[in-house]
Amino acid sequence: MTYDILIIGGGPIGLACGLAAQKAGLQYLILEKGALVNSLYHYPANMTFFSTSERLEIGHVPFVSVNAKPTRNEALEYYRRVAESKQLNLHLYEAVNAIVREASGYRVKTEKGEYLTRYVVLAMGFYDLPTRLDIPGEDLPKVTHYYAEPHAYYKQKVVVVGANNSAVDAALETWRKGAAVTMVVRSSEIGSRVKYWARPDIVNRIAEGSIQAFFQSELKEIRPNEVDIQTPEGIVTIENDFVIASTGYQPNFAFLERIGIQLSADEKRYPSYNPETQESNLPGLYLAGVVCGGMDTHVWFIENSRVHAERIVADIVGKQSI
């Protein structure tokens, strides 16, 4: 069969696109290379969202949480309930390898098969490709770009690289579970976008000396039992057991370029698309969610990109009625 819409990405925005297509009576399929809402699944176990639950809702399905700001586990439960109650047509653990343009639309090739579709929606996140430090020792087993939970760091010397939400959460949680924590921060202060209840906490822990912090500094080399930190005063070497590199993530630019999406020439690498319809430079191929921001991964979130789904489906319905 030929689908009307094939949606790549089973995160909240991919699900929202599926719900919009379902409501419009279109034949659709969602392909997700991992678990349902795979990026959220890999968030830290104790994470609390900055947004309130109603701002994370999709498809007008109520999201009720214990507190105003839901936890990761509550979000996973909510999106499972949406997928199940709406009987969304989705394939999990099926990665897309290629998207080939044809006369009548696109042929999408996955590790399990091929699909024909008139339109494609790329609702890919960016959580799978961490921004690397590109320093010696980054690939040692003690280094991770994905912090999950604090227990493993009890009585360990931990270096946390970064100053935004993920770094602050990792630093505070591991310190509270018995780790000796050192933060390495490029800027002169903790990030201004850090959750308002966490920022004073980390600032106070640093001020009192519970958590050591090197500002205007960079990690230069990682070795099995120590690390080198470039500070304004020079290189500082400290003992170290684990490094949590909370350096951010980026979209899969290589995949976007391979299928023909145009990217801006500057360091932001913005993909080309019409903001009124979300259609990319490739006719019939749309972008939705955080992928629209290129390296500006703090521009698009669940709450402000839910509208992409309705915008895309409205454009597709309009084209089919011509």
Q: Name the pTM for this structure.
A: 0.89
Q: Is 52 helix (H, G, I), strand (E, B) or coil?
A: coil
Instruction: Determine the straight-line distance between the first and last CA of the chain, rounded to whole angstroms.
Output: 22
What pLDDT shows up at residue 249? Answer: 84
Look up residue 284 and give its two tokens: 């019939």
Q: How many residues does the chain have?
A: 322
Q: How many domains does the chain have?
A: 2
Q: Answer yes or no: do 263 and 119 share one domain.
A: yes
Report the alpha-carbon distance of residue 73 to residue 88 in Å, rounded.
21
Q: How many CA atoms lie within 13 A of 78 on its CB side?
A: 25
Position 203: which residue type? Answer: V
Q: Answer yes or no: do 177 and 211 share one domain.
A: yes
CATH of the domain at 209: 3.50.50.60
Position 202: which residue type? Answer: I
Q: Answer yes or no: do 230 and 157 share one domain.
A: yes
Report the alpha-carbon distance of residue 16 to residue 306 in Å, rounded.
7
What pLDDT shows up at residue 17? Answer: 97
Cα angle, residue 297 at apex, residues 262 and 173 outer, rounded to 5° = 155
Q: Answer yes or no: do 235 and 253 share one domain.
A: no
Which one of 220, 245, 270 terminates a domain?
A: 245
Which one of 211, 229, 245 terminates a domain?
A: 245
What pLDDT shows up at residue 295? Answer: 86
- Structural contact between residues 117 and 21, judged by C-beta atoms closer than 8 angstroms: no
Q: Answer yes or no: do 83 and 177 share one domain.
A: no
DSSP states of 171-229 = HHHHHHTT-EEEEE-SSSSS-TTS-TTTHHHHHHHHHTTSSEEESS-EEEEEETTEEEE
Q: Residue 43, class by beta-carbon neighbours within 10 Å (0-12 exposed, 13-18 middle, 19+ buried)?
A: buried
Cα angle, residue 152 at apex, residues 150 and 156 outer, rounded to 5° = 95
Is 30 within the bounds of a domain? yes
Is 45 within the bounds of a domain? yes
Which one of 190, 222, 245 terminates a domain?
A: 245
Helices (H), the chain: 12-23, 38-41, 72-85, 165-176, 199-207, 253-259, 302-305, 307-320
Strand partners, 90: 30
Is 135 within the bounds of a domain? no
Q: Answer yes or no: do 214 and 279 share one domain.
A: no
What pLDDT shows up at residue 50? Answer: 83
Domain region containing 237: 143-245
Longest dimension (CA), the chain: 67
What pLDDT shows up at residue 322? Answer: 62
Q: What are the Cα distances from residue 177, in Å, to 156, 185, 211?
A: 10, 22, 13
Is 134 within the bounds of a domain? no
Q: Residue 230, class by beta-carbon neighbours within 10 Å (0-12 exposed, 13-18 middle, 19+ buried)?
A: middle
For tokens 């199940």, name the residue.
84
Q: Answer yes or no: do 226 and 210 share one domain.
A: yes
Q: Answer yes or no: do 73 and 189 share one domain.
A: no
Phi, psi (degrees; rounded to nearest 5) at 291 = -60, -25
What pLDDT shows up at residue 193? Answer: 87
CA dihedral for 271, 289, 127, 49, sign (positive or negative): positive
Cα angle, residue 145 at apex, residues 139 and 222 outer, rounded to 5° = 40
Per-residue pLDDT of the chain (322 residues; tens, 9 = 90+): 899 999 999 999 999 999 999 999 999 999 999 999 998 898 888 888 988 999 999 988 999 999 889 999 999 999 999 999 999 999 999 999 999 999 899 999 999 999 999 999 999 987 778 889 999 999 999 999 999 999 999 999 999 999 999 999 999 999 999 999 999 999 999 998 898 899 999 999 999 999 999 999 999 999 999 999 999 999 999 999 999 999 888 889 999 999 999 999 998 899 999 999 999 999 999 999 999 988 887 788 888 899 999 999 999 999 887 6
